[in-house]
Amino acid sequence: MAKISSIKVDSKIPEGPLAEKWTNYKAHQKLVNPANKRKLDIIVVGTGLAGASAAASLGAMGFNVLNFCIQDSPRRAHSIAAQGGINAAKNYQNDGDSVYRLFYDTIKGGDYRAREANVYRLAEVSGAIIDQCVAQCVPFAREYGGLLANRSFGGAQVSRTFYARGQTGQQLLLGAYSALNYQVSQGTVKVFTRYEMLDLVIIDGRARGIIARNLVTGKVERFAAHAVVIGTGGYGNTYFLSTNAMGSNGSAALQCYRKGAWFANPCYAQIHPTCIPVHGDKQSKLTLMSESLRNDGRIWVPKKLEDAKALQAGKKHPNDIPDEDRDFYLERRYPAFGNLVPRDVASRAAKERCDAGFGVNNTGLAVFLDFKYAIQRLGEDVVRQRYGNLFDMYEEIADTNPYKEPMMIFPAIHYTMGGIWVDYELQTSVPGLFAIGEANFSDHGANRLGASALMQGLADGYFVLPYTIQNYLSDQIQVPRFSTDAPEFVAAEKAVTDKIAKLMAIKGKRSVDSIHKELGHVMWDYVGMARTKESLETALKKLAEVETLFWSDLFIPGAADTLNVELEKALRLLDFIEIGKLMAYDALNREESCGGHFREEHQTEEGEAKRDDENFSYVACWKYTGDGQEPELIKEDLNYQYIKVQQRNYKN
């Protein structure tokens, strides 16, 4: 049993009715006047949608911003890879959408485990994001009449997703990058590329800077500021194989955790239903096929076990199985939403069929996503126009032509809803430390709906943080710039260099990746799509073994004071192991099923997730208590005042 802390959580939700909270907040928050802004330094770590939009907006307001990323250019942050789209409650389609409906869908999609006030604000600012992006020349898809086009995504019955072909994340990020470049040209933002944050510096209880390693020279450097913003993305790579980019990591979040910021809901990880199945053991990452494909593709496995067996043995071709022998299991189980059920539901349904032996590839871990019907209905040209680049991508990887035969897909780790705990102001439990984008835990509850991560990242960066951070900074204007010679900086730097020296000195036999793969197997097998008390206890034991292996047998070639990719990976792996443990603790504690967290002990007779609102309607915040010690649990109760909490129903 987790040790429960008596700390009372203040999430700083403003007074007033739901729809007026944000307006009230903005009307009464404290501001910083323009002359003073120039005297205040803000560190923004990360240049993804969240980090770049925040850095650009803060720069535009007149603050002095230092912006960091590990890639060689801000434009290469992992956000670039988002394909499908971004939600906004514009109701351009006149199909009944509204701020309230987007809010409602997001809360429901998150299985009633997100904070009402935050999510309402997210829906409220969503429209302004689209306006901002269009003003930046983001080339969204348009209709013949010249107006913006929309598509539908899982978990919604309206069409509110804006997109730029299959490259929405790229176009939004390039928009934010252009805004950032404008600020760089104005001298308000300085960008540090190929730099990796390795620790947070705290002075008198407030976040005052970071320690970062120049990845080209290997030099460990100190940076001071009046506030620190973390926008470093999610920790899906804990599983080794995921749809995340190779460099995506959870280290900055974990550094903050070790310095006192709470880590919230770590066990909420999203498993995306439509990824290209795993092949072989040399694979380095998994490729997502956009959820938008579920608009027109139909998901099926054979009805007859003997057909599945023949497919697995390569003795039958999918096209030879007649329609009446195909089990469109999502349409069968969820008639109202069909192939557009939320991700957690679709993923579990695929697993259920494959566990029952109906998997369709040689490993038995794949289902079909079939465009035959869409091609019959719309013609190949229309399908090509909508999904051409995705089909090409699939063909290049899988070496089969999806216009001619169904795609094979399987669920994969994709997104992490958990992250650094923040209050309504996006401030963590450490004063002066803020967290935005996927790095925080805020808006998606136990399951994120498609096209809402881009929305949240940009909402945080363009329209929320630039306001709320001023409320904190307004009483910091008398605080002079910090010297990085302060003892806190010296100590933090020493701790980092000591840790690096310790890793270099292990001199074992195993490469970082080989140990990371072991971690990934433990996580997928025991903290994956279906969890039990037993599996999670096994996970904790096995994670301790992986940690021992790391400290006894890791080998990092080369030197620390120069470019060293293996060292970079080793530092991240150490943190992934710690995150793995946090995920297991959290999953063990949460004795219910909700969203992406499925405890087999807690399911309905039909195999759906069974929540326990009586006992678990809270955010689980984990507080660091020392290395090798179990963290403490702090509960933030969730009170729903405007929405009636129900069992999610996508059936009728």
Ligand X SMILES: Cc1cc2nc3c(=O)[nH]c(=O)nc-3n(C[C@H](O)[C@H](O)[C@H](O)COP(=O)(O)OP(=O)(O)OC[C@H]3O[C@@H](n4cnc5c(N)ncnc54)[C@H](O)[C@@H]3O)c2cc1C
Pick out residues in 193-252 that bind ligand X (CB under 6 A): 195-197, 231-234, 243-244, 248-249, 251-252
Q: How far apart are CA 14 and CA 425, in angstroms?
A: 10
> Among 47, 150, 237, 484, which residue sits at the site for ligand X (rule: CB under 6 A)?
47
Closer to other proteins by CB, 402 or 466: give it. 466
Q: Please report whether residue 72 would count as binding other proteins according to CB under 8 A.
A: yes
Closer to ligand X by CB, 170 or 470: give it. 170
Closer to other proteins by CB, 245 or 271: give it. 245
CB of 160 to other proteins, least distance (A): 13
Q: Binding partner of residue 546 among other proteins, ligand X, none, CB under 5 to 8 Å per kind?
A: none
- Residue ranges in 611-640 that form contacts with other proteins under rule CB under 8 A: none
558 Cα distance to chain centroid = 33
Q: How far apart are CA 503 and CA 61, in angstroms?
A: 42
| Matching residue, tokens 């070496």 | 399
Q: Binding partner of residue 249 among ligand X, other proteins, none, CB under 5 to 8 Å per kind?
A: ligand X
Binding mask 236-255 for other proteins (x = CB under 8 A): ---------xxx--------
Binding mask 154-193 for ligand X (x = CB under 6 A): --------------xx------------------------
CA distances from 338 to 160, 298, 345, 649 (A): 18, 9, 11, 12
Q: What interhelical angle do 533-553 and 512-526 show, nearest 10?
A: 170
Strand 189-192 and strand 64-68: the pairing is parallel
Q: Which residues contact 540 (CB under 8 A, 6 or more apart)?
A: 581, 584, 585, 588
- Residue ranges in 287-306 that form contacts with ligand X under rule CB under 6 A: 288
- Residue ranges in 521-560 that form contacts with ligand X under rule CB under 6 A: none
**Amino acid present at 593:** S
CB of 172 to ligand X, least distance (A): 8
Q: Please report whether residue 319 would count as binding other proteins according to CB under 8 A.
A: no
Q: Please report whether residue 98 would count as binding other proteins according to CB under 8 A.
A: no
Long-range pairs, 542-547, Cβ under 8 A, ≥24:
543/519, 543/577, 543/580, 543/581, 543/584, 546/515, 546/518, 546/519, 546/522, 546/577, 546/580, 547/577
Picking from 386, 402, 498, 507, the residue whose alpha carbon sits closest to that of residue 83 is 386
Q: Which stretch binds ligand X (CB under 6 A): 66-74, 308-316, 377-385, 394-402?
A: 66-74
Calculate the CA dihedral of residues 83, 152, 595, 231 and round it to 10 degrees: 40
Q: Please report whether residue 106 would count as binding ligand X according to CB under 6 A.
A: no
Q: Please report whether residue 139 would count as binding other proteins according to CB under 8 A.
A: yes
- Residue ranges in 175-234 that form contacts with other proteins under rule CB under 8 A: 177-179, 181-182, 184-185, 191, 193, 216
Closer to ligand X by CB, 45 or 383: give it. 45
Q: Binding partner of residue 168 among ligand X, other proteins, none, CB under 5 to 8 Å per kind?
A: ligand X
Q: How far apart are CA 421 and CA 622, in angstroms?
A: 9
- Residue ranges in 555-614 that form contacts with other proteins under rule CB under 8 A: 555, 557-558, 563, 565-566
Q: Please report whether residue 77 would count as binding ligand X according to CB under 6 A.
A: yes
CB of 555 to other proteins, least distance (A): 7
**Amino acid present at 488:** E
Count of helix runs (H) and strand runs (E) in the chain: 19, 20
Q: Which stretch binds other proteins (CB under 8 A): 26-34, 265-273, 416-424, 506-514?
A: 506-514
Number of residues that bind ligand X (CB under 6 A): 46
CA distances from 325 to 294, 304, 474 (A): 21, 7, 67
Q: How far apart are CA 546 and CA 542, in angstroms?
A: 6
Q: Binding partner of residue 237 among other proteins, ligand X, none, CB under 5 to 8 Å per kind?
A: none
Q: For the stretch 48-80, what's the b/e string if a residue is b when 16 or more beta carbons lie within 10 angstroms of its beta carbon?
A: bbbbbbbbbbbbbbbbbbbbbbbbeebbbbbbb
CB of 16 to ligand X, least distance (A): 29
> Among 21, 37, 78, 343, which residue sits at the site for other proteins (rule: CB under 8 A)?
78
Q: How far apart are CA 270 and CA 274, in angstroms?
A: 12
Q: Please report whether residue 256 would count as binding other proteins according to CB under 8 A.
A: no
231 Cα distance to chain centroid = 11
Q: Please report whether residue 287 would count as binding other proteins according to CB under 8 A.
A: yes
Q: Binding partner of residue 415 among other proteins, ligand X, none, CB under 5 to 8 Å per kind?
A: ligand X
DSSP-derived 3-state class of residue 238 = helix
Picking from 382, 381, 383, 389, the residue whose alpha carbon sits closest to that of residue 370 is 383
Q: Please report whether residue 463 would count as binding other proteins according to CB under 8 A.
A: yes
Q: Please report whether residue 408 would count as binding other proteins according to CB under 8 A.
A: no
- Residue ranges in 465-504 that form contacts with other proteins under rule CB under 8 A: 466
CB of 335 to other proteins, least distance (A): 34
State residue 615 phi and psi, 5-degree precision.
-110, -15
CA distances from 133 to 179, 327, 455 (A): 10, 42, 11
State residue 255 phi and psi, 5-degree precision.
-60, -40
Closer to ligand X by CB, 169 or 175: give it. 169
Closer to ligand X by CB, 172 or 539: give it. 172
Classify the C-alpha dihedral 311-314-317-320 as positive or negative: negative
Closer to other proteins by CB, 137 or 501: give it. 137
- Residue ranges in 396-455 that form contacts with ligand X under rule CB under 6 A: 414-415, 437-439, 451-454
Closer to ligand X by CB, 170 or 617: give it. 170
Q: How far apart are CA 549 and CA 551, in angstroms?
A: 6
> Among 277, 302, 457, 580, which residue sits at the site for ligand X (rule: CB under 6 A)?
457
Task: With beta carbons less than 8 A apart as the criterion, state whether 430 and 207 touch.
Answer: yes
> Among 4, 147, 356, 501, which residue sits at the site for other proteins (rule: CB under 8 A)?
147
Residues contributing to the site for ligand X (CB under 6 A) = 45-51, 68-71, 77-79, 81-86, 168-169, 195-197, 231-234, 243-244, 248-249, 251-252, 288, 414-415, 437-439, 451-454, 457
